Amino acid sequence: MAATDIAHMRQRNPGPHAGTVKARVITTKGPSPYTSGGDQRQSLIVGLADMTGAAKAVNYDSAQFQRYQAGQ
């Protein structure tokens, strides 16, 4: 699955996930800059998958970006 495929996935449940997820990082895209309240920030799109399916997640915490490496 390519980063472009992840970027175009349909969102089924937008918003924060309430529980723990055990999945493999398939791909990442970014970091991408955005502006929030006049501040420049970054987000990272992450493609996740397990045996039941795949999902797209967006991480807005730049301190956590290094945790998301493809293949983990």
- DSSP count for the chain of H helices, then E strands: 1, 3
> pLDDT tens digits, residue range 22-72?
889 998 998 999 898 899 999 999 998 888 888 888 899 889 888 888 886
In this structure, what token pair is assigned to residue 57? 């997640």
* Domain ranges, ordered by start, for the chain: 3-9+20-64
Judge whether residue 20 has pLDDT over 70.
yes
Confidence (pTM): 0.67
Q: With 0-12 CB in 10 A as exposed, 13-18 as middle and 19+ as buried, what is 56?
A: buried
Query: pLDDT at position 44, please?
Result: 92
